Amino acid sequence: MIDMWWSVGLSVIAGLAVVSLTHYWYRWSNPKCNGKLPPGSMGFPLIGETIQFFIGGSMYSVDIPPFIKKRIARYGTLFRTSLVGRPVVMSSDPEFNHFILQKEDKLIELWYMDAFSAIIGTVANATSTAHILKYLKNLFLNHFGIERLKENQMMNKMEVMAHQYLQSWSTQPSVQVKESIASMVFDLTSLQLLTYDSNKYSSSKDMSKMLANFLDGVMSLPLNIPGTVFHRCMKDREKLLNMIKEIINEKITSPEKRLGDFLDQLLNDREKEEGVMKECLTEEFLVSLMFGLLLASVETISLTLNVVMMLLSDHPLVLKELMEEHEEILKSRENVDSPITWKEYKSMTFTTKVINETLRVSSVAPGILRKAIKDIHVNGYVIPKGWTIMVLHSAIHKNPANFEDPLAFNPWRWKDLGSNTQAKNFFPFGGGIRHCVGAEFAKVFMSLFLHVLVTKFSWTKMKGGGDATGILAVSPRNDFHVKICQKNDIKAHSS
């Protein structure tokens, strides 16, 4: 009799467990919503579709990431999923994305993936405050904006640095492009941001290399255990933060060493400000901010220049027209060795097309993240309050409806693209109030680097490349080595 009751009891418990798990699974797969959710799958409870998202193919691929491509084909331009335990709606709808990015603080707010927040630190939360964001934007524009660039002093530094680095690379059997360019970008931006002289620190090369590979950690599972990419990035982050903290402490204790750079302005304002602003400009925030700015500049510029050099190697007609444009600038000068001017930069129309096309085919990340602060109604669906929204600019940049043969590298396509098409279908530097204020700085630097490269040097690809269709066949993370040679006769080379 006792055995029978035990059996009945165990059967009841097992039945209740099955019912409970079934109910939980159903609730997970069908979240509460004041309307109709976008189509899609929430994956397994808690895990969601995280594993498929992170390991479903390289995020560096020229094509749309496989995870996103498959779901767009199945569900359309708006679909739901779950990543790292969070419900997410992904959108490749240009009209909705353009609309939603204009509605920050009304319908959406800034949000980062857990891995990114852990790596960036306190600046991720502080910059979500409107008055802090406005202050930092104005400060950045004062030091790196168009008006500052027009003064030519910074452009001259860029040109000189590009020449020095290319000259140095030409003495080596070969160079690994992304890491080498990362070192150059780090030297320039760290000098402008915090007067960091790389010649005084033997670890500068290691620091630039660490920054150049941080995107691997951002786009990985946030598992901080030895052996993972995320763990390596967190260890590297600690080294970089300590370096920045040392510089900040030196400037705080020795005001006479402030030379008017970006960090000096922050420290001066910190000493003058009162109330909320002073509370925000903590030492921890300043360290996190400097790290974030260095990371953004090094990762974005080094990756883009790496890709453009690969693409130019595989597209001789593009390279030929690019060379002609820059050699025409030299021919029009009274003194061929004069430094570049703002007017000359603005005349680089084909160069701009090359950079735009490179940015289009090589999105650094699959999308832009925001969080819904209200229920959002779109195309008959509802995105519930609290859900994450990922604006899939990587997919929009490859939409054949706006970009014919989207995987082909074709800078000439930009000649006929209207301003409205570009505004809603091309935003490599973000959109809305968070459009990157360093966009012009980055484009100027890339243009000047290409100017020096094609007028004074040539290069030969040693490994990697693309196929005949124009689709890049090698990940920018892979070793892409080139042999740099100095030109002795520009006209002879171009002919």
Q: Give the strand pairing for 86-91 and 481-486.
A: unpaired
Whether residue 363 contacts residue 393, with contact meaning beta carbons closer than 8 Å, is answered with yes
Nearest-10 crossing angle of helices 439-456, 177-194: 130
Give backbone dihedrals phi and psi of 91, rounded to 5 degrees, phi first: -130, 130
> How buried is 131 (Cβ within 10 angstroms: 0-12 exposed, 13-18 middle, 19+ buried)?
exposed
Alpha carbon separation from 301 to 133, 137, 279, 341, 371 (Å, rounded): 23, 19, 32, 21, 27
Single out the residue of 113, 42, 108, 51 nearest to residue 75, CA to CA.
42
Buried-state track 340-379, b at ≥16 Cβ within 10 A, e below 16: beeebbebbebbbbbbbbbbbbbbbbbbbbbbbbeebebe
233 is in an annotated binding site: no
Residue 252: CB atoms within 10 A of its CB come to: 15
d(CA 19, CA 16): 5
**What's the maximum distance between 2 C-alpha atoms anywhere in the chain?**
108
Tokens of 285: 């925030």
- Helix, strand and coil percent figures for the chain, each rounded to 5: 60, 10, 30
d(CA 394, CA 63): 9
Residue list, annotated binding site for heme: 436
Annotated binding-site residue numbers: 436
